[in-house]
Amino acid sequence: MRTSSYNPDVLNCIANLSNDEVFTPPELANKMLDLLPQELFSNPKTTFLDPFTKSGVFLREIVKRLDRGLENKIPDRQKRIDHILHNQVFGIACTELTSLLARRSVYCSKHANSQYSVSKFNNEEGNILYKNLKHTWVNGKCKYCGASQSVYDRGSEAEQYAYLFIHTDNPNKFFNMHFDVIVGNPPYQLSDSGFGISAKPIYDRFITQAKLLKPRYLTMIVPARWYAGGKGLDDFRDEMLHDNHLRIIHDFPQAFECFSGVQIKGGVCYFLWDRDHPGLCDVVTHKDGKELGSIRRPLLEEGCDTFIRYNEAVSILHKVMKNKESSMIDYVSSRQPFGLDTTFHGKENGSIKLYENQGVSFVEESQIDKNKSIIKEYKVFIPRAGSGSDAFPHPILGKPFVGEPYSACTETYMFIGPYTNLEECKNVVSYITTKFLRFLVMLKKVTQDTTRIVYSFVPIQDFSHPWTDEMLYKKYGLTEEEIAFIESMIRPMD
């Protein structure tokens, strides 16, 4: 009896080092390579660069495609492999470890000049470079990547994470040649504190640097947080959303559909940037292992300053915006609404009731230095952090509750208001708990953190009475299909 043997691809078995540097599964790498015109792999002059290679999966899969595509042009297998590896496929490794992994994947040897290499080079690196650079410190930050000197200024024996590709003003210098295709999965972030509790995005710098090389095509997979901007990403978001060379986006609100076991708030996306063919963008949304369809549309809808990631949401938003109602953002507080951070704890007694991280305590009015006029008013409190889940349907927001007169909160909460009486406050709470409102918040919210900006699409209502989803669906004329989409995305709130 014949039995099949288990022979997994080793690059499917590598565990991710962290959420900062995520290894790309071969299946995903091939889906990204499928975005490219496939005739590129039949041209012996096409050049490819992965400027932040880790496992070497992109380079390996490119070599496999070129090997098939050039079979008729270069019939001799060894000559074909030699030509591909010496003239067409290039990489820059992220770390010393990944340089060895990448060479092993591409050359079948961690040293390109060893007897085991499938194509002989006259040096160990071959065309996969690595150098343990040091950061260039200016006022405590690296001038190239923004890394914190207090975190990354360490001995040469330790990895510096000063990535070669972005720590230069001239990325052309590494190979001194033009590349037709730049492809890969860049590092996502760098810690900017000594305790690992805060990190700044860095993937945007790799995309910007890659564009300086003026490739014909650029395809990368990155966190989707750039859709709405945020920490250090506002200028990058603006540049990307106004770039009509961005022709295809595959969007994954649930990152685990691409990277098993990795949690990336806001999901991920991979895209195709086409230098020579500007136009509208094909947006493809993925959910529960399925493509929800593709629509060719502008990256910025009229009247929007952020990318609407769900195709089904565009028509809903248009119907809401058509009424030209005031936005709820004008009633939402900023972070630390009363000047008290998350670690602040009140006492057992005091004149002001304080909602804090550990429950309820009390403070005196003299301890509060922001929004003192709001303290005596009715308002609605809502947790600043949303749900930690990535799965849909999703609650989007934490549960709101009425803030009575002579109450305040720490940074754990934000307030919405003020309002004139208890009934009005209760009606605001009813509105916040609707799926309709939380759906509009979702369009701007790409991380767990809920800032006031995520309420900018939410219209103000008449709060002399409570609100239900049925009332809101009818008011804005939503179709059965639009209602069904909202219901599929937003979980009921208890």
Retrieve residue 151's tokens: 């975190």
> Per-residue pLDDT for the chain (494 aa), expressed as one digit of tens each?
444 444 455 455 444 444 456 889 999 999 999 999 999 999 999 999 999 999 999 999 999 999 999 999 999 999 999 999 999 999 999 989 999 999 999 999 999 999 999 999 999 999 999 998 889 999 988 999 888 888 888 776 677 889 999 999 998 888 989 999 999 999 998 876 644 456 789 999 999 999 999 999 999 999 998 987 777 788 999 999 999 999 999 999 889 899 987 888 889 999 999 999 999 999 999 988 888 889 999 999 887 888 999 999 999 999 999 999 999 999 999 989 999 999 999 999 999 999 998 799 999 999 998 999 999 999 999 999 876 556 778 899 999 999 999 999 999 999 999 999 999 999 999 999 999 999 999 998 877 788 898 999 999 999 999 999 999 999 999 999 999 999 999 999 87
The closest of 329, 323, 308 to 457, measured between CA atoms, is 329
**Strand-strand pairing, 199-201 and 217-223:** unpaired
The answer to whether residues 209 and 166 touch, using CB atoms and an 8 Å cutoff, is yes
Retrieve residue 237's tokens: 């978001």
Dmax over CA atoms of the chain, in Å, equals: 87
Alpha carbon separation from 213 to 49, 186, 201, 450 (Å, rounded): 11, 16, 21, 37
Using omega within 30 degrees of 0 as the cis cutoff, is the peptide bond preceding 418 cis? yes
Backbone angles phi, psi at 240, to 5 degrees: -65, -45
Tell me the CB-side half-sphere exposure of residue 286, using CA atoms within 13 A. 15
Q: Letter for the amino acid at 292?
A: L
- Condensed to tens digits (0 to 9), the pLDDT of residues 15-70 reads 444 445 688 999 999 999 999 999 999 999 999 999 999 999 999 999 999 999 99
DSSP annotation of 455: G
Retrieve residue 459's tokens: 């219209």
Q: Say which CATH superfamily domain 11-309 falls into.
A: Vaccinia Virus protein VP39 (3.40.50.150)
pTM: 0.84
- Condensed to tens digits (0 to 9), the pLDDT of residues 166-176 reads 999 998 888 98
Mean pLDDT of the chain: 90
Q: Is the dihedral of CA 72, 76, 77, 80 positive or negative?
A: negative
Integer Cα distance of 214 and 65 in angstroms: 23
**Strand-strand pairing, 199-201 and 189-191:** antiparallel
The answer to whether residues 270 and 36 touch, using CB atoms and an 8 Å cutoff, is no
